Amino acid sequence: MQEHELRHMIGQVKAGTLSRRAFVQAMLGLGLTAPLAAQMLAHAGVAQAQPKGSAMFNPTKRGGGGQLKVLWWQSPTLLNPHFATGTKDQDGSRIFYEPLASYDPEGNLFPVLAAEVPSVQNGGVSKDGRSVTWKLKKGVTWHDGKPFTSADVAFNWEFVKDPKTAARTIGSYTDIEKIDVLDSHSVRLVFKKPVSSPPARPLGPPEAAHPQGAVPRGRHRVPQGPV
């Protein structure tokens, strides 16, 4: 795709003649990621789409609801996303491991374990792009009843960045210089240098490593993560 074609598509999104989802899908077809497509729109000044009401379940079939069964060609071989060797492992882990935030079909960030998505406006992102502060949801617990806190987020970073861990996700954490635990439910990530879109670096899953439970490669007790 030529630059003028890309600019034209972004202009269509701005004008409302092309949806964010269609733009993201087009970028995925070119081999880009949804977060990168969302960053392109944000850089061009396209406002993030607002969530439509509450996240209620709307069945697509009369009388719908119940279980959704999905068939993969291969079963997961492990259930720790930091050692995932493919989407089968990542998807299997996501059943009970959750990130700080994730992306919706429109390419927008929405909070999962975080209370809100950090931004310059709410004070979560520093103006120099060197740090991002996450506020965690309160009342979240691990499977054993212990509370999910900022210490778990910091521990997860220490766990992944250790070369002895050999985590496949280490690349997402290399830009972080340190993590400051501000209080039980606030944590600040400080980067080695200014980065683009600080809230997306990294998103988690912070609970994949629990100081009292997780061990490398899930060989023993596997924590169930916040519920």
Measured CA to CA, the distance from residue 38 to residue 157 in angstroms comes to 25
**Domain layout of the chain by residue ranges:** 3-43, 81-218
Of 55-59, 160-164, 174-178, the range with the lowest mean pLDDT is 55-59
What average pLDDT does the segment 190-210 reach?
63
DSSP, res 166: -
With H, G, I as helix, E, B as strand and everything else as coil, classify residue 201: coil
pLDDT band for position 200 (cuts 50, 70, 90): low
Strands 109-111 and 131-135: unpaired
Q: State the pLDDT confidence band at 199, using cuts at 50, 70 and 90.
A: low
pLDDT, tens digit (0-9, with 9 covering 90-100), for 6-21:
888 888 888 888 888 8
Asked whether the beta carbons of 124 and 118 are under 8 A apart, the reply is: yes
The dotted CATH code for 81-218 is: 3.90.76.10
Sheet with 186-191, side-by-side order of all strands: 131-135, 186-191, 176-183
Instruction: State mean pLDDT over 126-145.
Output: 88
| CB of 165 closer than 8 Å to CB of 82 | yes
Report DSSP letters for 43-91, one per residue: HTTPPPPPP-S------SSTT--S------SS--S-S-GGG--SHHHHH
Residues 6+ apart with CB under 8 A from 160: 82, 167, 169, 170, 173, 209
- Whether a cis peptide bond, with omega within 30° of 0, leads into 205 is yes
pLDDT of residue 205 exceeding 80: no
Q: What is the C-alpha to C-alpha distance for residues 116 and 49, in angstroms, rounded to an integer? A: 15
Task: Name the band, by pLDDT with cuts 50, 70 and 90, for residue 214.
Answer: very low
pTM above 0.75, yes or no: no
Cα(68)–Cα(49) distance, integer angstroms: 27
> Comparing 181-185, 199-203, 222-226, which segment has the lowest mean pLDDT?
222-226
pLDDT tens column, 97-131: 888 888 887 778 888 889 998 888 898 888 888 99
